[in-house]
Amino acid sequence: MNEKMNYTAAFDELKTIVSEIEEGEISVDELSEKVGRAAELIKICKEKLTSTEENVQQILKEMEAKES
């Protein structure tokens, strides 16, 4: 599922979960499930950000090499 979900979708779902928790809209029984899902979403977001950063760094290195 990680490869299919994009950063924006994961972040939006994470915001929804946080909002539900903050507003007390979920039961105690659902809390564990929501926290587990939030952890998965955080991992997806972190992986996407890391991957994007690596890609940008590679592009910048390639641009510097072409200028030299």
Residue type, 30: E
- For the cut 90, the answer to whether the pLDDT of residue 67 exceeds it is no
* CB 16 within 8 Å of CB 41: no
Query: What whole-number distance in Å separates Cα of residue 1 and Cα of residue 56?
Result: 24
pLDDT of residue 3: 56
Angstrom distances, CA of residue 45 to CA of 20, 25, 39: 19, 24, 10
Average pLDDT, the chain: 91
First-to-last alpha carbon distance for the chain, in angstroms, is 42
pTM of the entire predicted model: 0.80
Query: What whole-number distance in Å separates Cα of residue 16 and Cα of residue 19?
Result: 5
